[in-house]
Structure 1
Amino acid sequence: MRLFSLAVLLVVATPALPQQPPAGMISPSRPVAKGMAPGMKFKLVHTSPGERVYAIMFSKGDEVISGLTDFARQNHISDAHFTAIGACESALLAWFDIPQKNYRPIPVNEQSEVLSMTGDIAGYLGQPIVHAHSILSRPDGSTRGGHTFELHVNPTLEVFLTADDIPLEKKQDPSGLKLIDPAE
């Protein structure tokens, strides 16, 4: 009986492991690598009460989502929005499949122009979360777009980021996404 009680206690007390996405899909909770933008530089270009504007420049080989996440951590940013233009040598974009609660990958493995990259940063469990979408122009002028998981710069990407002093927080949504909750 004691062995059965111990087994029940272990099952009840063990936290559930995160679900692995189905083959060929990307989890919305995919971790972001740290330190993948060693060439990133930035400058504070404007400050006013409650708001700061930064110019952030990425160099060849930098990975943008990692760099923006590191930048937000280092500068204590938990509420921001940004736009960017430039070029990349590869990217991993994705489209959210609502019934699957996971992303379908859209790899771009060729030199492309970043026609537009927009996004925001908000906090989740004390950490900044970068949410970005990109439209990329391929060599023939066709485009690919979607949620940005990775974007590897070549030769540069110019980001203008506005950070606000009032933090925004995200909450887990039943869809599996972490969404900004203005009530938080």
Structure 2
Amino acid sequence: LMEALAVFCKDLTVYCGQVRGIGAISEATFRMYDPATKQYVDKTFTEQMEITNLTGNVSQKDKKPYLHVHATCSRADYSCVGGHLLSARINGACELLVDEFGDTFAGREYDDETGLYLYKF
């Protein structure tokens, strides 16, 4: 999902925008950030899930589209998992909307204090 979305944005030169969606997936890797250690922790879930909400933005980093997407996914027992979506494998359908913000520039720059790539306008 995320690779295809990145290719879509690059091919259509979307460098500033919003992403929304729903769908069905069989695997997802989420990433959580620990501000105390400035480290990421990744966790993969390999099971059929519904994307109940996917939202994020597109900006520019290193002259390429940079995706920052979060998702909430429901499991067979109706519990949910979610966070920063690193990758997902579509199994069924996935419906995404990408709204481009025209010539607006939103770049990313590394911030030493947080350890994150934050917006640079």
TM range (shorter): over 0.9
Q: Which residue of 2 aligns with 1:164?
A: 101
More strand as a share of residues? 2
Residue 34 (structure 2) aligned to one of 97, 101, 110: 97
The number of equivalent residue pairs is 119
State the TM-score, normalizing by the size of structure 1.
Answer: 0.62
Specify the code of the residue in structure 2 equivalent to 1:179.
L
State the TM-score, normalizing by the size of structure 2.
Answer: 0.93
Q: Distance in 2 between matches of 1:117 and 1:106?
A: 17
Q: Which residue of 1 aligns with 2:68?
A: 131
Q: Segments of 4+ in structure 1 off by > 2 A?
A: none
Give how far 1:98 is off: 1.0
5+ unaligned residues in a row in structure 1: which ranges?
1-63
Q: Residue 78 of structure 2 aligns to a residue in which SS?
A: coil
More helix as a share of residues? 1
5+ unaligned residues in a row in structure 2: which ranges?
none
Specify the code of the residue in structure 1 equivalent to 2:116.
L
Give how far 1:106 is off: 2.5
Higher relative contact order by CA 8 Å / sep ≥ 6: 1 or 2? 2
Q: Which residue of 2 aligns with 1:59?
A: none
Percent of counterpart pairs with the same letter? Answer: 25
- The Cα offsets for residues 58-86 of structure 1, whole Å up to 9 and x where unpaired, read as xxxxxx11111111111111101011001
When the two chains are superposed, the root-mean-square deviation of aligned CA atoms in Å is 1.0
The 5-angstrom pairing of residues 111-150 of structure 1 reads: 111-150=48-87
Q: Residue 83 of structure 2 aligns to a residue in which SS?
A: strand
